[in-house]
Amino acid sequence: MAVERTLSIIKPDATCRDLTGRINARFEESGLHIVAQKRIRMTLGVAEKFYEVHRRRSFFDDLCAFMASGPVVVQVLEGEDAIARNREIMGATNPDNAEEKTIRRDFGESIEANSVHGSDSLETAAREIAFFFSDIEIVG
């Protein structure tokens, strides 16, 4: 295991229900340190660029519209095995399939409005972190 950084996004369904603090507590209680964080509103263009890898998926347009529909909190989480650890804490993409006590099981509303995003590999994490943050904004 190694100390890693991963990009997390608290999605509009969660920010709109004032769940930011409760979701952040899940990360911190699990040993993931929030080393960068900002609340922003993505434009449709920014959401489309961020989710470029999904451009050909049937849900792409809906997903981008959803991500631009309200505030999001983008953040960098740091800790041992942070990428896999965060995906465990988030739970499966579809809240109905997510394990008990995961964020998506407890807070997610649907497969799209599933409250959080987390990078899925070291390479993706590096790209996604650089998409939103410069080096001086990340303070470990």
Query: What is the distance between the alpha carbons of residues 136 and 20, in angstroms, rounded to a whole number?
Result: 23
Question: Does residue 117 have an active-site annotation?
Answer: yes
Catalytic option among 117, 119, 128, 129 = 117
Query: DSSP 3-state assignment of 76?
Result: strand
Query: DSSP 3-state assignment of 39?
Result: strand
Query: What is the distance between the alpha carbons of residues 10 and 23, in angstroms, rounded to a whole number?
Result: 8
Q: What is the closest distance, in whole angstroms, from the C-beta atom of residue 124 to Mg ion in the complex?
A: 8
Q: What is the closest distance, in whole angstroms, from the C-beta atom of residue 10 to Mg ion in the complex?
A: 15
Q: Does 93 bind ligand ATP (CB under 6 A)?
A: yes
Query: DSSP 3-state assignment of 26?
Result: helix
24 binds, among Mg ion, ligand ATP, none (CB under 5 to 8 A by kind): none
List 81, 106, 109, 120, residue binding ligand ATP (CB under 6 A): 120
- Of residues 95-124, those binding Mg ion (CB under 5 A): 120
15 binds, among ligand ATP, Mg ion, none (CB under 5 to 8 A by kind): none
Q: Which residues contact 41 (CB under 8 A, 6 or more apart)?
A: 68, 70, 71, 72
Tokens representing 52 are: 């470029």
- Candidates 71-79, 95-103, 107-115, 127-135 — which segment interacts with ligand ATP by CB under 6 A? 107-115
Query: Helix and strand tally (H, E) in the chain?
Result: 7, 4
Which residues are at the interface with Mg ion (CB under 5 A)?
120
Which residues are at the interface with ligand ATP (CB under 6 A)?
59, 63, 93, 111-112, 114, 117-118, 120
Catalytic residues: 117
